[in-house]
Amino acid sequence: MSTETKLDRANLDPASVFAAPLEVVAAKDLSDEDKRSILIKWEADADALLRATDEGMEPTPGNRSPAEILRAVHEALQQLDSPQPSTDAASDTGC
């Protein structure tokens, strides 16, 4: 699947492309901006599902709970926002 097609599908339905939010963060073929966009969409989807279950809609059998998904998305967003260690830093220390 081309990166553009993957991005388009992920922006419509992140769970159709990625098994978990942390997979979005690990995707090497996406920019940080694209990753953030996908995670924000996933967050909105999970939030809507959470509201629906709060209003009495039964969750889909076999799927993770919306609250679990929301926590995973928030964790992925935090990881995306945390500074990544530089690969040059290790070589600067003489290691």
Residue 46 within any structural domain of the chain: yes
Residue 41 within any structural domain of the chain: yes
Q: What is the pLDDT of residues 56-66, one digit of tens each?
A: 777 676 678 88
Rounded Cα distance between 36 and 31, Å, is 9
Q: What is the pLDDT of residue 89?
A: 47
Residue 56 within any structural domain of the chain: yes
Domain range for 44: 3-80
To the question of pTM greater than 0.85 for the whole model, the response is no
Q: What is the pLDDT of residue 87?
A: 52
Mean pLDDT for the chain overall:
85
Task: With beta carbons less than 8 A apart as the criterion, state whether 87 and 35 touch.
Answer: no
Residue 35 within any structural domain of the chain: yes
Number of domains in the chain: 1
Q: What is the pLDDT of residues 76-86, one digit of tens each?
A: 999 999 876 65
